Amino acid sequence: MRALLKFLLLWGLLVSPFWVSAEVLDINTATAGQFDDTLVGVGKAKAQAIVEDREKNGPFKSVDDLERVKGIGPATIAKNRDKITVGAVPPATVATPPEAKPKQK
Protein backbone atom coordinates (compact mmCIF):
# COMPACT_ATOMS: atom_id res chain seq x y z
CA MET A 1 0.00 0.00 0.00
CA ARG A 2 2.78 2.44 0.89
CA ALA A 3 4.57 1.66 -2.34
CA LEU A 4 1.41 2.48 -4.28
CA LEU A 5 1.02 5.81 -2.46
CA LYS A 6 4.66 6.70 -3.10
CA PHE A 7 4.26 5.79 -6.75
CA LEU A 8 1.11 7.92 -7.12
CA LEU A 9 2.73 10.87 -5.37
CA LEU A 10 5.86 10.65 -7.50
CA TRP A 11 3.83 10.23 -10.67
CA GLY A 12 1.68 13.24 -9.76
CA LEU A 13 4.74 15.41 -9.20
CA LEU A 14 6.31 14.36 -12.48
CA VAL A 15 3.20 14.77 -14.62
CA SER A 16 1.66 17.89 -13.09
CA PRO A 17 3.97 20.47 -14.71
CA PHE A 18 2.77 19.34 -18.12
CA TRP A 19 -0.91 19.88 -17.51
CA VAL A 20 -0.70 22.74 -15.01
CA SER A 21 1.52 25.08 -16.96
CA ALA A 22 -0.07 26.64 -20.00
CA GLU A 23 1.89 28.55 -22.56
CA VAL A 24 1.36 32.30 -22.26
CA LEU A 25 2.58 34.40 -25.16
CA ASP A 26 4.02 37.86 -24.89
CA ILE A 27 2.35 39.55 -27.85
CA ASN A 28 5.28 41.94 -28.15
CA THR A 29 7.85 39.20 -28.71
CA ALA A 30 5.96 36.19 -30.10
CA THR A 31 6.61 34.99 -33.63
CA ALA A 32 3.93 34.37 -36.24
CA GLY A 33 4.46 30.64 -35.74
CA GLN A 34 3.86 30.94 -32.00
CA PHE A 35 0.64 32.90 -32.55
CA ASP A 36 -0.54 30.33 -35.09
CA ASP A 37 0.24 27.38 -32.81
CA THR A 38 -1.21 28.81 -29.61
CA LEU A 39 -4.14 31.11 -30.29
CA VAL A 40 -7.68 29.96 -31.04
CA GLY A 41 -9.09 31.43 -34.25
CA VAL A 42 -5.72 32.75 -35.41
CA GLY A 43 -4.18 31.08 -38.44
CA LYS A 44 -1.05 31.83 -40.40
CA ALA A 45 -2.42 34.94 -42.13
CA LYS A 46 -3.70 36.61 -38.94
CA ALA A 47 -0.55 35.61 -37.07
CA GLN A 48 1.59 37.26 -39.73
CA ALA A 49 -0.67 40.34 -39.65
CA ILE A 50 -0.10 40.67 -35.89
CA VAL A 51 3.67 40.58 -36.32
CA GLU A 52 3.59 43.05 -39.24
CA ASP A 53 1.38 45.47 -37.28
CA ARG A 54 3.73 45.29 -34.31
CA GLU A 55 6.74 46.00 -36.54
CA LYS A 56 4.99 48.90 -38.28
CA ASN A 57 3.19 50.55 -35.34
CA GLY A 58 5.34 49.61 -32.37
CA PRO A 59 4.65 47.41 -29.35
CA PHE A 60 1.19 46.69 -28.01
CA LYS A 61 0.49 48.47 -24.73
CA SER A 62 -2.35 46.14 -23.75
CA VAL A 63 -3.88 42.90 -24.93
CA ASP A 64 -6.85 44.90 -26.22
CA ASP A 65 -4.50 46.73 -28.63
CA LEU A 66 -4.66 43.58 -30.78
CA GLU A 67 -7.95 44.99 -32.10
CA ARG A 68 -5.91 47.36 -34.26
CA VAL A 69 -4.95 44.32 -36.37
CA LYS A 70 -7.37 43.63 -39.21
CA GLY A 71 -9.21 40.38 -38.54
CA ILE A 72 -8.66 40.43 -34.78
CA GLY A 73 -11.70 41.56 -32.83
CA PRO A 74 -13.07 41.43 -29.30
CA ALA A 75 -14.31 37.83 -29.71
CA THR A 76 -10.87 36.55 -30.73
CA ILE A 77 -9.24 38.43 -27.87
CA ALA A 78 -11.80 37.08 -25.38
CA LYS A 79 -11.13 33.47 -26.49
CA ASN A 80 -7.40 33.94 -26.02
CA ARG A 81 -7.10 36.39 -23.13
CA ASP A 82 -5.74 33.72 -20.77
CA LYS A 83 -3.07 32.73 -23.32
CA ILE A 84 -1.59 36.16 -24.02
CA THR A 85 0.16 38.88 -22.11
CA VAL A 86 1.97 42.12 -22.79
CA GLY A 87 5.56 42.09 -21.63
CA ALA A 88 7.55 45.12 -20.74
CA VAL A 89 6.61 48.04 -22.94
CA PRO A 90 9.36 50.63 -23.19
CA PRO A 91 8.38 53.65 -21.11
CA ALA A 92 7.53 56.82 -22.95
CA THR A 93 10.25 59.40 -22.83
CA VAL A 94 9.18 62.27 -20.63
CA ALA A 95 11.09 65.51 -20.73
CA THR A 96 12.25 66.52 -17.29
CA PRO A 97 12.34 70.22 -16.58
CA PRO A 98 15.70 71.68 -15.62
CA GLU A 99 16.30 72.08 -11.93
CA ALA A 100 15.32 75.47 -10.61
CA LYS A 101 18.25 77.51 -9.43
CA PRO A 102 17.81 79.25 -6.09
CA LYS A 103 17.47 82.99 -6.42
CA GLN A 104 20.48 84.93 -5.29
CA LYS A 105 19.85 87.95 -3.13
Q: Please determine, for residue 79, whether its predicted confidence score (pLDDT) is greater than 70.
A: yes
Q: Please determine, for residue 93, whether its predicted confidence score (pLDDT) is greater than 70.
A: no
Q: How far apart are CA 80 and CA 75, in angstroms?
A: 9
Q: Please determine, for residue 3, whether its predicted confidence score (pLDDT) is greater than 90.
A: no
Query: Does pTM surpass 0.85?
Result: no
Q: How far apart are CA 99 and CA 30, in angstroms?
A: 42
Sequence ranges of the domains in the chain: 26-87
- Interval 7-65: pLDDT, tens: 766 656 565 544 444 679 999 999 999 999 999 999 999 999 999 999 999 999 999 99
Question: CA geometry: angle at 66 spanning 62 and 69, to 5°?
Answer: 150
Specify whether domain 26-87 bears CATH 1.10.3720.10: no
In this structure, the number of other CB atoms found within 10 A of the CB of residue 48 comes to 15
Q: How far apart are CA 86 and CA 25, in angstroms?
A: 8
